[in-house]
């Protein structure tokens, strides 16, 4: 069972996290090293449940609900900055005594991970980047996201409707994707009029605004610890860009997961866990 813990983030924002291992138990704790799991935009710590359980026998695994997500506090729009997200992860490592830790990030969480590793190398001994681009995405991408949020048929009548829409009816889909439906079902909650997201779409857009216009290659060059770039073959991170990211990283490594898209830990959890285990095994203990 996961244990809920509290972290005080940048500006005093209350953050919720879940620890999937008891550091007092044999085989876990500081001797085995800490792993901080950072979800992507619109995600939540629960998205890492399977991954964290797979790690908890050997590592102290903690999944963080980032600001504005899951059960963490909803800060003002102006507090949804890149700096704040990085400072929140830094606070989690320090307050939970996880460092030197491995940071495992999906999408936005991966960007947070490598920015923190560049900024505080003393806290980070390894990074896993899952399906996050280093290139600038630009204004057109942001406008597409705003249109996409407006296309959501809120409120959903049932959780089954959530799964079906994101797996079959979402206009972004090229083909049915049940794993995607399950992924989005995790970020919905039942309200008085139906099922709605745990997050505020405007807050998500403001959060995304803080990184889409900038490229992040220079920060990659500053990450000195071993870093694994993972992509699903049908994900948003293309092979050429992923391999260029590995090239510019001082200690970059690369892995592909077949039959997986943007969320390989949902699409192919066994293959994802295998890739992660191999990387962590090669890192050894701190």
Q: How many CB atoms lie within 10 A of CB 15?
A: 25
Give the helix/strand (H/E) hosting 210.
helix 201-212
Confidence of residue 90 (pLDDT cuts 50, 70, 90): very high
pLDDT of residue 57: 86
Report yes or no: 4 and 18 within 8 Å, Cβ to Cβ: yes
Supply the pTM of this predicted model. Answer: 0.95
Looking at the predicted structure, is the pLDDT value of residue 26 above 60? no
What is the phi/psi pair of residue 193, to 5°? -110, 5
Window from 17-21, 68-72, 78-82, 94-98 with minimum mean pLDDT: 17-21
CA distance 125 to 83: 21
CA distance 106 to 33: 20
pLDDT of residue 30: 42
Provide the angle, in degrees to the nearest 10, between the axes of the packed helices 82-95 and 201-212: 100
Q: Which residues contact 183 (CB under 8 A, 6 or more apart)?
A: 47, 166, 263, 266
Q: How confident is the model over 201-230, as a mean pLDDT?
A: 97
Per-residue pLDDT tens for 233-282? 999 999 999 999 999 999 999 999 999 999 999 999 999 999 999 999 99
CA distance 123 to 11: 20
Looking at the predicted structure, is the pLDDT value of residue 6 above 60? yes
CA distance 18 to 32: 18
Q: Which CATH number is correct for 3-137+214-283, 3.40.50.720, 3.40.630.30, 3.40.50.300, 3.40.50.1820? A: 3.40.50.1820
> Counting beta carbons within 10 angstroms of the beta carbon of residue 150, is it exposed (0 to 12), middle (13 to 18) or buried (19 or more)?
exposed
Q: Among residues of the chain, what percentage have pLDDT more than 90?
A: 92
Domain ranges of the chain: 3-137+214-283, 138-204
């Amino acid at each position: 069972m996961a244990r809920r813990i509290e972290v005080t983030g940048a500006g005093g924002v209350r953050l919720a996290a879940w620890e999937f291992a008891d550091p007092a138990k044999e085989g876990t704790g500081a001797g085995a090293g800490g792993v901080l799991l950072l979800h992507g935009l619109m995600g939540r710590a629960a998205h890492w449940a399977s991954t964290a359980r797979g790690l908890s026998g050997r590592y102290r695994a903690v999944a963080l609900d980032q600001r504005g997500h899951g059960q963490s506090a909803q800060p003002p729009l102006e507090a949804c900055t890149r700096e704040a997200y990085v400072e929140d992860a830094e606070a989690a490592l320090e307050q939970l005594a996880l460092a030197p830790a491995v940071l495992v990030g999906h999408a936005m969480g991966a960007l947070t991970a490598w920015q923190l590793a560049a900024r505080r190398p003393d806290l980070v001994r390894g990074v896993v980047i899952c399906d996050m681009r280093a290139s600038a995405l630009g204004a057109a991408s942001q406008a597409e996201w705003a249109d996409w949020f407006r296309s959501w048929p809120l409120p959903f009548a049932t959780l089954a409707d959530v799964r079906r829409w994101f797996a079959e009816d979402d206009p972004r889909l090229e083909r049915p994707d049940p794993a995607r439906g399950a992924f989005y079902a995790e970020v919905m909650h039942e309200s008085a009029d139906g099922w709605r997201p745990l997050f505020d779409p405007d807050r998500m857009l403001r959060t995304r605004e803080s990184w889409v216009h900038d490229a992040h290659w220079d920060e990659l060059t500053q990450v000195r610890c071993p870093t694994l770039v993972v992509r699903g073959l049908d994900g948003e991170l293309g092979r050429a860009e992923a391999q260029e990211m590995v090239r510019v990283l001082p200690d970059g490594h690369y892995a592909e997961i077949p039959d997986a898209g943007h969320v390989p830990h949902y699409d192919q959890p066994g293959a994802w866990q295998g890739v992660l285990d191999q990387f962590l095994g090669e890192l050894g203990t701190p």
